[in-house]
Amino acid sequence: MRLDYWAAMLTARGLTRLLCKIDDQPLRSIPMQGPLILVCNHINAIELAVVFPRLHPREFTGFAKSETWDNPILGPLFDIWDIIPIQRGQPDITALRQGLKALEDGKILAITPEGTRSGDGRLKRGNPGVATLALHSGAPLLPLVYYGNEQFYGNLRQLRRTDFRIRVGQPFRIETPGRLTADIRRQITDEIMYQMAMLLPQQNRGYYQDLRAASAEFVRLI
């Protein structure tokens, strides 16, 4: 493995351990082999630095907005970690193909269906792209959520460590519908998001706060 990869991974582990109180025990339930789509919430930038190094030795990639490569620190770091740039606000076929290739190679592919940071830790409505990728790949999905890090920047200003909580749910597959319409893609996306919402405290569920509205017509737990 490349020296720059190891250096970035060890640096991220050390810094996040210094800045956060992290119980990474739930990550040990993640399968050690085979393609896997991790569906995650997205609060702020600290998440990747916490989770990515702690999934080693699993091969791991994910999507990040293409504008991130304008950042002189994050751009080179994401290149080292082979993160896939994606154009937001439009179908990005190139990024989709790269994600499918990563899954074909047996990697973990992380997706944040919200498409942007929430900042406040409350779930936004998911974008249907996650349903398209799940159906095209046939790979199992695993919900992974975090909370507590919505306090990260406030804690950092006060020189306090942040309680970074991690929860991992049950793996599932999406059962292919007979005909994929826009309404069905939306329903599948919401069903995926509810699998994440069930792992979060009520105040973090946001758009998906009412779990009584959850359906699982296309979700099959493994």
**What is the per-residue pLDDT across 40-84, written as a single tens digit (0 to 9) for each?**
999 998 999 999 899 988 889 999 889 989 988 888 888 988 899
- Looking at residue 38, its pLDDT comes to 97
Domains and CATH numbers, the chain: 3-221 (3.40.1130.10)
* pLDDT tens by residue, 79-126: 988 899 998 777 789 999 999 999 999 999 999 999 889 999 999 999
**Band of residue 1 on the pLDDT scale cut at 50, 70, 90:** low
What token pair was written down for 58?
A: 């699993």
* Listed residue (181, 62, 42, 45) closest to 111, CA to CA: 62
User: Helix 129-137 crosses helix 182-197 at what angle (to 10 degrees)?
Assistant: 90
User: For residues 186 and 184, what is the distance between their CA atoms, to the nearest angstrom?
Assistant: 5
Q: What is the mean pLDDT of residues 149-159?
A: 96
User: For residues 158 and 41, what is the distance between their CA atoms, to the nearest angstrom?
Assistant: 25
Residue with tokens 């804690």: 155
* Gyration radius (Cα) of the chain, Å: 17
The mean pLDDT value of the chain amounts to 93
Residue with tokens 């509810």: 194
Q: Please give the share of the chain, as a percent, with pLDDT higher than 90.
A: 74
**Band of residue 199 on the pLDDT scale cut at 50, 70, 90:** very high
- The DSSP bridge partners found for residue 166 are 146
Backbone angles phi, psi at 62, to 5 degrees: -175, 180
* pLDDT tens by residue, 23-40: 999 999 999 899 999 999
Q: What is the pTM of this model?
A: 0.92
Q: Quick check: 153 pLDDT over 90?
A: yes
